[in-house]
Chain A
Amino acid sequence: SQQGEEDPQALSIQEGENATMNCSYKTSINNLQWYRQNSGRGLVHLILIRSNEREKHSGRLRVTLDTSKKSSSLLITASRAADTASYFCATPPPGGTSYGKLTFGQGTILTVHP
């Protein structure tokens, strides 16, 4: 079963608009990561937010984490056609004693129309 579940499954917007994707998870975590995958390519790490952080920025990306609700959101501001990709949240196993086994959600497919 998936630890993280993204919402929405698909999102279609116009260039210049903001895109927000949400991720919910089930167990306690040390951190949560977001990855992007362009069609048929490998995943690219975007940002990592630790469990003691509430918000983190990286360029046009803003990630929030609410551990009480077990949820995270990824906001892409002023989107571009090049942002078209699938976006995944990923979490390590509960307990923080991971030896691998990063669990990915099913992803949100973002389409940005020029």
Chain B
Amino acid sequence: DSGVTQTPKHLITATGQRVTLRCSPRSGDLSVYWYQQSLDQGLQFLIQYYNGEERAKGNILERFSAQQFPDLHSELNLSSLELGDSALYFCASSVGTGGLIGNSPLHFGNGTRLTVT
């Protein structure tokens, strides 16, 4: 058990809808990362938050947004969903300060499987 909790585990929704994915990081970790995993794109970094502030952005669509709350849990909001958004969405956390995070291993949750029909 990584200590990172993601809910829900599965989500099925229709095109055009909006969903919210939730992540509770490992106790003591200040950084939260969101990744998308799909068959064609592999694992893609979306966004990172450190102690409530956005720290890095990757290939995140404008239809997607995220935030980290004072209790350090994070939410990823996906709107105007398209069929191509179907994927596994992972949250990860690390103790790293957000500087040289490559020196802090990431701890992943088990993901939310999103299916857009």
- Closest Cβ neighbor of A50 among chain B residues: B103
Query: How far is it, in angstroms, between the C-alpha of A96 and the C-alpha of B92 when the chains are bound?
Result: 20
Within 8 A of A (CB), among B8-61: 31, 33, 42-43, 45, 47-48, 50, 55-56, 58
Within 8 A of B (CB), among A83-110: 88, 91-93, 96-107
- State which size class the interface on A falls in: 20 to 34
- Closest Cβ neighbor of A38 among chain B residues: B110
* B101 nearest CB across to chain A (Å): 5
A67 CB within 8 Å of chain B: no
B116 CB within 8 Å of chain A: no
Question: Per-residue CB proximity of A29-72 to B under 8 Å, as 1/0?
Answer: 11101010000111111001010000000000000000000000
Contact B100 A30 (CB under 8 A): yes
- Closest Cβ neighbor of A2 among chain B residues: B42
Chain A residue numbers with a CB within 8 Å of B48 are 99-101
Query: How far is it, in angstroms, between the C-alpha of A93 and the C-alpha of B109 when the chains are bound?
Result: 22
Chain A residue numbers with a CB within 8 Å of B102 are 29-31, 33, 91-93, 96, 98, 102
Query: How far is it, in angstroms, between the C-alpha of A106 and the C-alpha of B58 when the chains are bound?
Result: 17
Contact of A42 among B50, B56, B101, B109 (CB under 8 A): B109
Query: How far is it, in angstroms, between the C-alpha of A105 and the C-alpha of B88 when the chains are bound?
Result: 16
Question: Per-residue CB proximity of B88-117 to A under 8 Å, as 1/0?
Answer: 101010000011111101111111010000
Q: With A42-B2, A106-B42 in contact, do A101 and B56 touch (Cβ < 8 Å)?
A: yes
State the B residues within 8 Å of A (CB).
2, 4, 31, 33, 42-43, 45, 47-48, 50, 55-56, 58, 88, 90, 92, 98-103, 105-111, 113
